[in-house]
Amino acid sequence: MIHLTINGLPVSVPEGTTILDAARSADIPIPTLCHHPKLTPYGGCRLCIVEVKGINRPVTSCTTPVAADMEVATTTPAIEGMRKTILELILSDHPNDCMVCEKAGDCALQELAYFYGVRENRFDGERRCYAGKDRNPFIDRDMEKCILCGKCVRVCEEVQGVGAIDIAYRGFNAKICPPFEKDLSCEFCGQCVSVCPTGALTGKAWTQRGRQKDIKEVDTICPYCGCGCGITLHVRRNEIVRVSSREETINEGWLCPKGRFGYTFVNSPERLHVPLIKEKGVFREAGWDEAMSLIVSKLGKIKKKYGPDAIGGLASARCTNEENYLFQKFMRAVIGTNNIDHCARL
Amino acid sequence: MRDPVKSNLTIRVCMGTGGIAAGGVEVMAVFADRLAGRGIRADIRKHCSIHKVGCRGLCAKDVLVDVILNGDKTTYQFIKPDMVERIIEEHVVGGNPVLEWAVGEDYHQFHDKQVKVVLSDCGNINPEEIDSYISVGGYNALERVIKKMTPAETIALIKKSGLRGRGGAGFPTGVKWEICRSVEASRKYIICNADEGDPGAFMDRSVIEGNPHAVIEGMTVGASAIGADKGYVYIRAEYPLAVERLKNALKQARERSFLGKNILGSGFSFDIRIKLGAGAFVCGEETALIASIEGLRGMPRAKPPFPVHKGLWGQPTVINNVETLANIPYIIRNGAEWYASYGTEKSKGTKVFALTGKIRNSGLIEVPMGIPLREIIYDIGGGIENNRKIKAVQTGGPSGGCIPAELLDITVDFESLARVGSIVGSGGMVVLDETDCMVNIAKFFLQFTQSESCGKCVPCRIGTKRLLEILERVTEGKGRLGDIELLESLANDIKATSLCGLGQTAPNPVLSTIKYFRDEFEAHITKKKCPAGVCRDLLSFVVLKDFCKGCGACKRVCPAGAVTGERKQVHVIDPEVCVKCGACYDACKFKAIGKG
Query: How far does CA A207 lie from the centroid of its chain?
Result: 16
Biggest distance spanned by C-alpha atoms of chain B: 88
Domain boundaries, given as residue ranges, for chain B: 9-107, 137-340, 350-433, 438-527, 539-595
CA–CA min distance A27, chain B (Å): 24
Specify the DSSP class assigned to residue B47.
Answer: H
Q: Rounded to a whole number, what is the distance in angstroms from the first to the last CA of chain A?
A: 49
Rounded distance between C-alpha atoms, residue A63 and residue B304, angstroms: 8
Rounded distance between C-alpha atoms, residue B116 and residue B122, angstroms: 9
Q: Under a CB-based contact definition with an 8 Å cutoff, are residues A243 and A255 in contact?
A: yes
Q: Do residue B457 and residue A44 have CB atoms under 8 angstroms apart?
A: yes
Fold of B350-433: Ubiquitin-like (UB roll) (3.10.20)
Q: What is the CA radius of gyration of chain A?
A: 27
Q: Under a CB-based contact definition with an 8 Å cutoff, are residues B65 and B79 in contact?
A: yes
Rounded distance between C-alpha atoms, residue B87 and residue B9, angstroms: 13
Q: Do residue A90 and residue B490 have CB atoms under 8 angstroms apart?
A: no
Q: Do residue B455 and residue A81 have CB atoms under 8 angstroms apart?
A: no
Q: Delineate the domains of chain A, giving CATH numbers in brackets.
A: 2-75 (3.10.20.740), 211-255 (2.20.25.90), 310-346 (no CATH)
CATH of B137-340, one of 3.40.50.11540, 1.20.120.330, 3.40.47.10, 3.40.309.10: 3.40.50.11540
Is A39 at the interface with chain B, CB within 8 A?
Answer: no
Buried-state track A41-52, b at ≥16 Cβ within 10 A, e below 16: bbbbbbbbbbbb
Peptide bond into B305 cis (omega under 30): yes
Lowest mean pLDDT: which of A82-91, A286-295, B9-18, B479-488?
Answer: B9-18
Segment A126-145 mean pLDDT: 93
Is A299 at the interface with chain B, CB within 8 A?
Answer: no
pLDDT of A15 reads 95
pLDDT tens across B540-578, in order? Answer: 899 999 999 999 999 999 999 999 999 999 999 998 899
Query: Best interface-test mutation with B: which of A34, A76, A85 has the largest number of B CBs within 10 A?
Result: A85
**Strand, helix or coil at B246?**
helix
pLDDT of B95 reads 84
Which of A200, A93, A176 minimizes the C-alpha distance to B462? A93
Please, which pLDDT band fits residue A345 given cuts at 50, 70 and 90? low
CA–CA min distance A137, chain B (Å): 28
Is A45 at the interface with chain B, CB within 8 A?
Answer: yes
pLDDT tens across B164-202, in order? Answer: 998 878 899 999 999 999 999 999 999 999 999 888 888
Is A93 at the interface with chain B, CB within 8 A?
Answer: yes
Q: What is the ipTM of this complex?
A: 0.88
Cross-chain CB nearest to A46 (options B301, B450, B497): B497
Segment A91-95 mean pLDDT: 96
Q: In chain A, what residues touch B452 (CB-CB under 8 Å)? A: 170-171
pLDDT of A342 reads 85
Pairing of strands B271-277, A71-73: unpaired
Taking residue A129's Cβ as centre, other Cβ atoms within 10 Å add up to 8
What is the pTM assigned to this prediction?
A: 0.88
Q: Do residue A92 and residue B462 have CB atoms under 8 angstroms apart?
A: yes
CA–CA min distance A124, chain B (Å): 7
Q: In chain A, what residues touch B496 (CB-CB under 8 Å)? A: 57-58, 82
Give B337: exposed, middle or buried? Use CB within 10 Å, 0-12, 13-18, 19+. exposed
For the B438-527 domain, the top CATH level (class) is mainly alpha
Q: Do residue B464 and residue A49 have CB atoms under 8 angstroms apart?
A: no
Q: Do residue A89 and residue B459 have CB atoms under 8 angstroms apart?
A: yes
Please report the DSSP string for B258-308 in residue order. SSBSSGGGSS--BEEEEEEE-S-GGGGSHHHHHHHHTTS------SSSPTT
Cross-chain CB nearest to A86 (options B299, B304, B458): B458
Rounded distance between C-alpha atoms, residue B339 and residue B331, angstroms: 6
CA–CA min distance A134, chain B (Å): 22
Q: In chain B, what residues touch A46 (CB-CB under 8 Å)? A: 457-459, 497-499
Measured CB to CB, residues of chain B less than 8 Å from chain A are 280, 282, 297, 299, 301-302, 304, 450-466, 469, 486, 489-490, 493, 496-499, 504
Query: Best interface-test mutation with A: which of B287, B490, B493 has the largest number of A CBs within 10 A?
Result: B493
Is A174 at the interface with chain B, CB within 8 A?
Answer: yes
pLDDT of B594 reads 87
Lowest mean pLDDT: which of A94-103, A336-345, B159-168?
Answer: A336-345
Is A172 at the interface with chain B, CB within 8 A?
Answer: yes
Fold of B9-107: Glutaredoxin (3.40.30)
Rounded distance between C-alpha atoms, residue B363 and residue B4, angstroms: 34
pLDDT of B279 reads 85
Q: Under a CB-based contact definition with an 8 Å cutoff, are residues B362 and B60 in contact?
A: yes
Cross-chain CB nearest to A89 (options B297, B299, B463): B463
Q: Do residue A86 and residue B497 have CB atoms under 8 angstroms apart?
A: yes
Q: Which residue of B has its CA nearest to A167?
A: B297
Q: In chain B, what residues touch A167 (CB-CB under 8 Å)? A: 297, 299, 455-456
Interface size between A and B, measured as CB pairs under 8 A: 105
How many CA atoms does the CB half-sphere of B204 hold within 13 Å? 31
Cα angle, residue B208 at apex, residues B203 and B213 outer, rounded to 5°:
135
Cross-chain CB nearest to B496 (options A58, A89, A166): A58
Is A171 at the interface with chain B, CB within 8 A?
Answer: yes
pLDDT tens across A14-50, in order? Answer: 999 999 999 999 999 999 999 999 999 999 999 999 9
Q: What is the CA radius of gyration of chain B?
A: 27
Rounded distance between C-alpha atoms, residue B20 and residue B416, angstroms: 37
Rounded distance between C-alpha atoms, residue B123 and residue B56, angstroms: 5
Q: Which residue of B has its CA nearest to A66?
A: B304
Q: Do residue A44 and residue B453 have CB atoms under 8 angstroms apart?
A: no
Q: Do residue A46 and residue B461 have CB atoms under 8 angstroms apart?
A: no
CATH of B539-595, one of 3.40.50.10440, 3.30.70.20, 3.40.50.170, 3.30.70.660: 3.30.70.20
Is A313 at the interface with chain B, CB within 8 A?
Answer: no
Low-confidence ranges of chain B (pLDDT < 50): 1-5, 41-47
CA–CA min distance A332, chain B (Å): 57
Cross-chain CB nearest to A93 (options B299, B304, B462): B462
Q: Do residue A125 and residue B457 have CB atoms under 8 angstroms apart?
A: no
Q: Do residue B453 and residue A126 have CB atoms under 8 angstroms apart?
A: no
Pairing of strands A59-60, A49-52: antiparallel
**Strand, helix or coil at A219?**
strand
**Strand, helix or coil at B456?**
coil
Q: Which residues contact B90 (CB under 8 A, 6 or more apart)?
A: B96, B97, B98
Helix B464-475 × helix B438-452 angle, to 10° = 150
Query: How far does CA B97 lie from the centroid of its chain?
Result: 32
Q: Do residue A170 and residue B280 have CB atoms under 8 angstroms apart?
A: yes
pLDDT of B58 reads 78
Please report the DSSP string for B460-489 in residue order. IIIIHHHHHHHHHHHHTT---TTHHHHHHH
Bridge partners, residue B572, by sequence: B564
Q: Do residue B497 and residue A150 have CB atoms under 8 angstroms apart?
A: no
